[in-house]
Every structure is written in structure tokens, then in C-alpha cells.
Structure 1
Amino acid sequence: MRKPWILMLLLTINLVFVFFFWQSSTTKADEKGPIPSDAIRLRILANSDSPADQAVKRQIRDAVNAQITTWVQDLKSTNDAKRVIRAHMPQLNRTVKQALKKAHADSTYKIKLGQADFPTKMYGTFVYPAGKYDALVITLGDGRGANWWCVLFPPLCFLDFSNSDAAAKNNASTDTTAPGQERAKQTVKTSPASEDAAQQTEKPEKKTVESDDQEVQVHSFVVDFFTGVWRSIAG
């Protein structure tokens, strides 16, 4: 008669541990990360995935980011940053034109400051849900190539946001072998102009999100535990 009671006690203790483990993991993923909700992002879509077009994208990135950082680094509010960026749009257009001309690249491009769609992002343990965010989007040519992104305001483009798609965790065959994919080689507080700084190479239309590995492990543990307890009682 004592065996069922002992098993029930062990079951209760283990359920308490599982509950606290799950709660801790969920809280950690939902914590506020380094990107404020009202941040202004920079997104640059390359013409294609060819090495030449990807190189042009990086040149545009370096020139635009260097300019905007000097304009907004001392500002305190997002509205002020938007106002300053809009006021400098003619200068941004000149910068992009000059960079494209210097690279002998396709001279067509589009610049837009406003709401833009972003897939779910993961930075370390922080998850940023998919949705529309304020962003300066620069589309080069057809805009069909891998894109790069960072946070313009507050200035966080020195951070490494590479491989930050939540979907990329269990989809390596798609994301890690995509043509023209770039790798981040930038360390914190180095110049944004360094080669391959904070690279982000997801396709803009990709928005699928797969479940977290830890959640799957917890679920598997609970199922296995209950199965073992039931077999012990039934046996």
C-alpha cells in the first residue's frame, strides 16, 4: 500500500520542479531585450544574392549608418530621430546615389521611412515578435537578395544581430546555406563599417516560427515521467 503513496509524492515533487523550470524559461524569453519597442530600424535589401550585389549592399550600409548615427546619437526621443532623418532624406538619397555610382552598380533604389514588416527575431535569449516596426528601408534594384538590418535609434548597429531569426534555430538547411549568406565578424563597440558587421541574411518574406528546443525537452520529460509512473502503478 505504501508504494502508490511514494510514487504520488515523487510525482508531485517532480511536477513542482517542471513547473518552475518552464516558468523560468518563459520569463527569460519574454524579458525586455536591448531593442526598445519604439526603436527605428535600418533595413537594406540587396538587388540579388550575387557577391557583387551583396558587396554593394555593405557599402550602402556603411555609408548610411555612419551618417545617421552622427545625426541621432545625442537625441532622446524616437519622434526627434524621425524628424531628423526625414529632414536629411535628400542627403541620404545623394549618399546612396554616390555609393551606387562608385560601385558601378544598378542605379535604381528606393528609400522609405515608416512602418515595415519584420519576421520574429531572436537576440540571445530575447524574442522579438513579428510585426510592423518603424524602419528606414532601402531597397536596391529588385530587392530580391539577402537583407541586412540593425537598430538606428537608439544607435545599436554595433551589436551582432546575425542569425537572429527565431525560425533559423531548427532550419539550418534553409538559412545557413542560402546563397550569399553573410556571417557577423563584428565585436561590440567597433565601427559599423567593419567588414560583415552585424549581418542579417533572412529572406524578407520568411515569417515562420518554430518551437523552442527547451520547451520540447520539457514536454518530452513530462510525458516520459507520467508514462513511467503509470506503468509502475499498473504493474
Structure 2
Amino acid sequence: MEHYYNNYRKQQKERERIMQRGCLVFAVLLAMMLTAWLVWQRGMLVEARAEEATENLAGQVLRFHVLADSDSLRDQQIKMQVKEEVVTWLHENRPEDADRKEMEAFIREHLTEIKKLARETVRREGSADAVTVELARDEFPEKTYGTLTFPEGEYEALRIRIGSGEGHNWWCCLYPGLCFTDAVHVEADKKDMQELRTLVDEDAYEMVTCTSDFRIKWFFFGGYEGDR
């Protein structure tokens, strides 16, 4: 009788161990699923926040876009020469202390002159490529210049297309007047940076000036309106 009792106790303990392991596995799986859901939800909130900040930024800045005919050395040099001539003309002739709407109105009023200047520059460089100039909504990839990062998005821009416009392009921000000297270094006037800060919300400004990945920062440390 004692032998049967001992076997019964052993079987009972084994069933208990199996149930405990099963409960542990279930708890781990449940925790993993909950964690994955929370990560997904947080990621969605971060992306929504980034999109909202980008829209806010895009509504306040005016960019400049010069598209080269091709990636050949000659076409890239022509692009940069056009950029230099137009940026110089704009800086010399734009109204002082103009806001974004005034800057856009000034450019729209002088599109013919800007086109003439760009075309003359292209011809002077020995190219017969067509030149188009317009104010248009344009898609820009994310770009980092020095300590400034403009997120990917659609922005209003003065766009100059040389020939097919299929070569690597150049851009800067006409309003506020952040003028980029080359593809690596950036010169940002403190007054213009302060003006940008007053124009856009805190998230948008952080996106432009953040030295690390703002999405990672927002994911782990950023608060949301519902959390505040």
C-alpha cells in the first residue's frame, strides 16, 4: 500500500511541476506579447508625433532647390554656380526683416528675373540646357547639415531645374535665412535660428536641431499630450 501511495505522490508532484512550468511559459509569452504591443503602440505615437512636427515645420519655412541636369562634374559645377548667383542676388535684393509670406511674395514677383539670372549663368558656363524656375511644393529627403536636420517631407520651395533635373541637387532654407555653405558645414545666423524657434512648435524645433535621433529620444523619454 505504501508503494502505491509513494507512486501516487510522485505522479502528483510531477503534474504540479508540469503545471508550474506551463504557467511560467504562459506568463513569459503573455509578457512578451504585452511588451510587443506596448512597443508597437509607442512607435505609432512617435511616428504620429514626428509627422505632426514635420507638418508644422513645413508650414513655416521656405526652401531653395536647385536640380542639376546630371551627376557629371560639369553639370554639378553649373548647378553650384547657379546656386551661388541666385543666393547672392536674393540676399542683396530681398526685403529686410521680411516674414515668410513677404519672402514668398517677393520671390513670386521676381520669378522672371531669377529665371533670367539662372539661364544667363547656365549659358555663361557653356551649356544650352533649358532652365525652369517656379515656386512649388517639393518632396525633400531627410538631410543633415552640420548641427541641423530637416526631416523628410513636402515643403514649399523655390525650385530651379536645369535640363532634365536628374542629377544630385542642392538645397538651403530661404526663410528663415539659413544658408548652407556646402554639403557638410552649415552657417546658421543666431537671429534666424531664434526666429525659427518662435515660428515652429517645440517638437519641430527639436527635430531640426537635435544632434541625435529624435525618434529614439521621444520613444524612451518623450512625453505626449496625453501623458502630461
Q: Which residue of 2 aligns with 1:15?
A: 33
Specify the alignment match of 2:198 in structure 1.
none
Report what 1:122 is aligned to: 142
Deviations 1:178-218 (A, max 9, x none): xxxxxx3224539xxxxxxxxxxxxxxxxxxxxxxx9xxxx
TM-score (normalizing by structure 2): 0.56
RMSD value, Cα = 3.5
Q: Find the aligned partners of 1:36 and 1:64 in 2 and give their Cα distance.
A: 24
The answer to whether the 8 Å contact 1:49/1:146 transfers is yes
Q: Which runs of 5+ in 2 are unaligned?
A: 1-18, 190-214, 216-228
Is the Cα–Cα contact under 8 Å of residues 69 and 152 in structure 1 kept in the other structure? no
- Structure 1 residue identity aligned to 2:156: D
CA distance in 1, matches of 2:77, 2:110: 25
- For the 8 Å contact 1:49–1:145, the answer to whether it is kept is yes
Query: Which runs of 5 or more structure 1 residues have no equivalent in the other structure?
Result: 161-183, 191-213, 215-235
SS of residue paired to 2:119: helix
* Cα distance in 2 between the residues matched to 1:11 and 1:154: 52
Q: Do the aligned partners of residues 27 and 55 (structure 1) sit closer, same or farther apart at CA in structure 2, a change above 3 Å counting?
A: farther
Q: 1:84 aligns with which of 106, 119, 142?
A: 106
C-alpha deviation, 1:73, in angstroms: 7.1
| TM superposition score normalised by structure 1 | 0.55
1:107–1:123 distance in 2 versus 1, CA, 3 Å: closer
Contact 1:73 1:154 in 2 (8 A): no
Q: What stretches of structure 1 move > 6 A for 4+ residues in a row? A: none
Contact residue 179 and residue 187 of structure 2 kept, 8 A: no
Question: 1:79-102 CA deviation, whole Å, 9 max, x = no partner?
Answer: 222111122324323431342244
CA distance in 1, matches of 2:26, 2:181: 49
| Pairs aligned (count) | 163
Q: How does 1:189-228 map to 2 (within 5 A)?
A: 189=188
Equivalent-residue separation in structure 2 for 1:14 and 1:27 (angstroms): 20
Answer yes or no: is 1:97 the counterpart of 2:119.
yes
The one-letter amino acid paired with 2:185 is Q
Q: How does 1:36-185 map to 2 (within 5 A)?
A: 36-38=57-59, 39-69=61-91, 71=94, 74-77=97-100, 79-106=101-128, 108-116=130-138, 118=139, 121-123=141-143, 128-129=152-153, 133-158=155-180, 184-185=183-184
User: What is the CA deviation profile of residues 140-180 of structure 1, one whole-angstrom value per residue up to 9, with x for unaligned ones?
Assistant: 133332333333223344398xxxxxxxxxxxxxxxxxxxx
Instruction: Classify the secondary structure of the residue corresponding to 2:103.
Output: helix
Give the conservation status (yes or no) of the 8 Å contact 2:178–2:188. Answer: no
What amino acid does structure 1 have at the position aligned with 2:177? P
- Identity across the alignment (%): 25
Q: CA-to-partner distance for each residue in 1:15-41, whole Å, 9 max, x for gaps?
A: 333333334444444422597222333
Larger Rg: 2
Going by fraction, where is helix more abundant, 1 or 2? Answer: 2
Cα deviation, 1:25-71, whole Å, max 9, x if unaligned, reads 44444422597222333222212221101111011122223433562
Partner Cα separation in structure 2 for residue 140 and residue 147 of structure 1 = 10
